[in-house]
Amino acid sequence: MYVSILRRAVFIAPASGSFVKPTGFMLFVLATICGFVCLAPESGYGQMPGPSGSPSSRAVPLPASGRTNQVGAVLSQESASPNGAETVSGSIQVSGDYTGSVPAKDLPPGPITVSLAGAVQRGLATNLGAISANNSVAASRAQRIQELSALLPNLSASASETVTQINLAAYGFQFKLPPGVNFSIPSVVGPFSYSQLQGSLSQSIYDPVQRRNWNASKETERAAVLSARDARELITLAVGGTYLQTLASAAAVESQQAQVDNAQAVYNQAVTRKAAGTNAKIDVMRSLVELETQRQRLSAVQADLRKQKIALARTIGLPLDRELVLSEVLAFNAHSVPDTAAAIERAFQYRSDLRAAEAQVRAAELALSAARAERWPSASVNGYYGVLGPTPASTHGVFAVTGAVNVPIWEGNRIKGDIQEAETTLRQRQAELADQRGKVEQDVRTALIELETAIGQVEVAENNRSYARETLNEARDRFSAGVATTVEVVQAQEQVASTESSYISSLFSFNLAKLSLARATGDAANDLPDLLKETRP
């Protein structure tokens, strides 16, 4: 229920023509007929404006959660493996839209050489996660434009030519005139026609609810833009992590190929010594088993490399049937662990997902303000101007202007319900913001721990690799001198293979930890070009 206070100005001018002076009774009857003609549904447009007031605006309810629908996830982590040669191993897990892409265009023929930065740029352009995030921004922008339209003038124009005939008996008119009256009223009027050309204007003068709805939609759009920026950070982490994992697989293939060559050399040496009678057959068989084992491992790591290249190509929109050449190698550069407090403060300043959560809270605050403003009055103006007449050549101007003020009085507790719903949404989003701040801090602290651990892991793995290589060289020399069997050589080979695998894994964990820290602080895209620089031999 609302009170509508209006002031109307109407002007209706009849078409020019000559009339016979009617009697009072005739005027009454003609006025009645004309009224029904104007109001009849068959007659199209009437000359009088429609309802003078409009219902009060309502606050647009927001979803309780401000977190947008997750199109996927990208997680990097280190896991402990105390039973293996390496005590900590890193991994990158990509799911949802971030694993897919649309095909890239204008690709050169032949093998495609990709650098780390180039792969990320391709991912930002073709990854499905980025496309989905951009579409969410476009949808939020469209919603904001729709809310703005309620505050802007609405203009329309119409032209019509109407031919109609009305059966007055259908409306209850039964004309029975006294005998001797030289006048008759037909029960069927028409057919008759009229032409109309009209322009209409509707403008909100003061509507606090619609204005707050518009402001809330702007904050929602801003949150979508920030979420899209965060999606770019996740794509950087996904593509960068997958690229690093592919580099690790390529390094594993190269290292395993060296193990196969070494096992082949030991086997050849055992066969030569057996032929010379200085070695037992069991040494030949033992070295052959080691050779076949190393070949089997080589086949496994080669298959893993091919799968990693397919996953990388799929992430950045490259054809899956093209050869992918990675132009960079895993590297280790001296790196100090940043100060924890400074890193957390940087993350609070730059993390786009945290700023998006803040924008969602502001949108909920504005939605609550809009719900409370439903109790306030609103003002609007409506009107039209046009020409109306029996023919296009004989028309006259007609117009109507209505200004209205609507004051809500009783809405059956609807406004109270809208306010309570908006309050619930605000509390939920405030809780999500507090949780998001905790998650950001957790990401930074976890990334710092992983980086510190990875630095120590690389140093230990590098020393172990050097010791294992030295042990293998000594074992081969002892075998050549006849003072050792292939048992000692095989054991040394297994140690080298294990330490090489540990070294490659530690390099991958180190570079992934740096990339994860950059993502945790909200600046992965800027830190990425320096990720594999300053290689230390």
Residue 63 CB coordination number (10 Å) = 14
Same domain as 412, residue 430: no
pTM of the predicted protein model: 0.82
Alpha carbons 258 and 249: distance in angstroms, whole number? 14
Q: How far apart are the first and last CA of the chain?
A: 81
Q: What is the pLDDT of residue 43?
A: 41
Q: Which residues span the domain enclosing 520? A: 72-144+215-364+421-528
Choose one of 375, 395, 416: the last residue of a domain.
416
Same domain as 156, residue 115: no
Same domain as 523, residue 430: yes
Same domain as 336, residue 426: yes
Q: What is the pLDDT of residue 529?
A: 67
In a domain, 290, yes or no: yes
**Residues 6 or more apart whose Cβ sits within 8 Å of residue 35:** none
Give SS3 for 5: strand
In a domain, 450, yes or no: yes
Same domain as 285, residue 348: yes
Alpha carbons 504 and 248: distance in angstroms, whole number? 6
Which residues lie across from 166 on neighbouring strands? Answer: 189
Same domain as 272, residue 180: no
Q: How many domains is the chain partitioned into structurally?
A: 2
**Residues 6 or more apart whose Cβ sits within 8 Å of residue 61:** 367, 418, 421, 422, 425
Same domain as 437, residue 398: no
Q: What is the pLDDT of residue 331?
A: 84
Same domain as 439, residue 504: yes
Q: With contact defined as beta carbons under 8 Å apart, do 260 and 292 qualify?
A: no
CATH of the domain at 472: 1.20.1600.10
At 409, phi and psi to the nearest 5?
-115, -50
In a domain, 445, yes or no: yes
Q: What is the pLDDT of residue 297?
A: 92
Question: Which among 513, 123, 531 is positioned nearest to 311, based on CA atoms?
Answer: 123
Same domain as 56, residue 128: no
Same domain as 268, residue 410: no
In a domain, 494, yes or no: yes
Q: What is the pLDDT of residue 141?
A: 95
Same domain as 224, residue 95: yes
In a domain, 380, yes or no: no
> Judging by beta carbons within 10 Å of its beta carbon (0-12, 13-18, 19+), is residue 184 exposed, middle or buried?
exposed
Whether the link from the prior residue into 103 is cis, omega within 30° of 0, is: no
Same domain as 90, residue 201: no
In a domain, 535, yes or no: no
Give SS3 for 78: strand
Q: What count of residues does the chain have?
A: 537
Q: What is the pLDDT of residue 172?
A: 80
> Judging by beta carbons within 10 Å of its beta carbon (0-12, 13-18, 19+), is residue 105 exposed, middle or buried?
exposed
In a domain, 536, yes or no: no
Q: What is the pLDDT of residue 278?
A: 74
Per-residue pLDDT of the chain (537 residues; tens, 9 = 90+): 544 544 444 444 443 443 344 444 444 444 455 554 444 444 444 444 444 456 678 888 888 877 776 678 888 888 776 555 456 788 899 999 999 999 988 888 889 999 999 999 999 999 999 999 999 999 999 999 999 998 999 999 999 999 999 888 888 877 777 777 777 777 888 888 889 999 999 999 999 999 999 999 999 999 999 999 999 999 999 999 999 999 999 999 999 998 899 889 888 888 888 887 777 888 889 889 989 999 999 999 999 999 999 999 999 999 999 999 999 888 888 678 899 999 999 999 999 999 999 999 999 999 999 999 999 999 999 999 999 998 888 888 999 999 999 999 888 889 999 999 999 999 999 999 999 999 999 999 999 999 999 999 898 988 998 999 899 888 888 888 877 777 888 888 888 888 888 899 999 999 999 999 999 999 887 777 666 664 443
In a domain, 533, yes or no: no
